[in-house]
Amino acid sequence: MTIRTIVAAVALENGDEPVMHRASRIAQEHGARLLLVHVIESLPATADLPLPADEEIVSRVLVADATQALERLVPASGVRAEIKVDFGRADQVIERFARDHAADLLIIGPGKPQNLREKLFGSTVDRLVRSSPCPVLVVTQQADDGYRRVIAAIDFSPMSFAAAQSAVRMAPNAAMELVHVLEIPLAFMQAMRKAGTSQAEIDQYRRAKSQAALKELRLACVSFSIPKESKIRVVHGDAAATLIGLARGGETDLVTLGVQGRNAVSKMILGSVARRVVSLSPCDILLTREPF
């Protein structure tokens, strides 16, 4: 499947340029249609507005100003962008726009929680990842070039492989490395020691788990049509800390993650690993919710 339609959500705040540049670059690389959407979330109280202003006039002015601001952001890259400005809750409007236009990719900035509720229950980015009909690319860095090196975080869920496949589709020329982070709970290790397990036996157990994970990665690459030249690696440690460390290594410019939710609350927020990576990674993050 090729990328035919890209929706980029632009907040019209400082830091929008990376989103615009990346969206334009990907659209150009794929010959895709690019649609820009900006959402005006709320209007001040308008009941006592002095004449001749009224809510309709103020709304038209806000839309016109936002449209002009978006037009100024569009780089002179030869990519024509269609612009849409609407009112409502940002995640709901953006999701509807992506669905109505059958988007293949949604591009957004990392954003910041605006209030206590968002800090507790998830920001616009969190909610969009949970509801988006397509993969979500969270852009954090300037698009000086196409993606060169991608790390795909693999936890053996269908969503994690779908994220890797999305990266292959979006950046077919990038070098791909599949990384499985093997995290053996500390309590489990302590319990083995208390049960009389020697350090040599624990080390052997860790090696066996690593070998099994490597074998599973090799088989999965074939099953999910991941390029055969992709590297694979098993790393021991905390998943989020490991991925953030790899992202900060300087060579990686994209990390992919699969996300899922099992209940009403988890559908509102990102999992702890994804949220930490999105918050702290210096490179872009591609999040995929559903397998192909």
The predicted pLDDT at position 268 comes to 39
Kindly write down the DSSP assignment for every residue of 135-202, as one continuous string.
-EEE--S--SS---EEEEE--SSHHHHHHHHHHHHH-TTSEEEEEEEE---HHHHHHHHHTT--HHHH
Which CATH number among 3.20.20.70, 3.30.420.240, 3.40.50.620, 3.40.50.300 corresponds to the domain 1-143?
3.40.50.620
Residue 216's CB is within 10 A of a number of other CB atoms, namely 15
pLDDT of 170: 92
Listed by start position, the domains of the chain span 1-143, 145-292
Supply the pLDDT for residue 132. 86
Q: What is the pLDDT of residue 185?
A: 74
Task: Please state, in angstroms and as integers, the Cα–Cα distance from residue 154 to each residue in 90, 181, 233, 246, following that order.
Answer: 30, 8, 10, 14
CA distance 8 to 286: 14
- Decide: 236 and 273 in contact? Cβ < 8 Å: no
CATH number, domain 145-292, options 3.30.465.10, 3.40.50.620, 3.40.605.10, 3.40.50.10360: 3.40.50.620
Distance (Å) of CA 62 to CA 18, 38, 53, 107:
24, 11, 12, 23
**Tokens linked to 182:** 């093997």
pLDDT at position 111 = 65
Question: What is the pLDDT, as a whole number, of residue 162?
Answer: 87
Copy the structure tokens of residue 159: 């969503």
Q: What is the pLDDT of residue 223?
A: 76
Average pLDDT by consecutive 10-residue portion of the chain (292 residues)?
88 82 91 92 63 71 88 73 90 92 92 48 72 90 85 88 90 90 81 85 86 88 79 88 87 87 42 80 87 52
pTM, to two decimals: 0.84
What pLDDT score does 159 carry?
A: 87
Question: Do the domains 1-143 and 145-292 sit in the same CATH topology, yes or no?
Answer: yes
90: Cα separation from own chain's centroid: 16
Predicted local confidence at residue 291, as pLDDT: 56
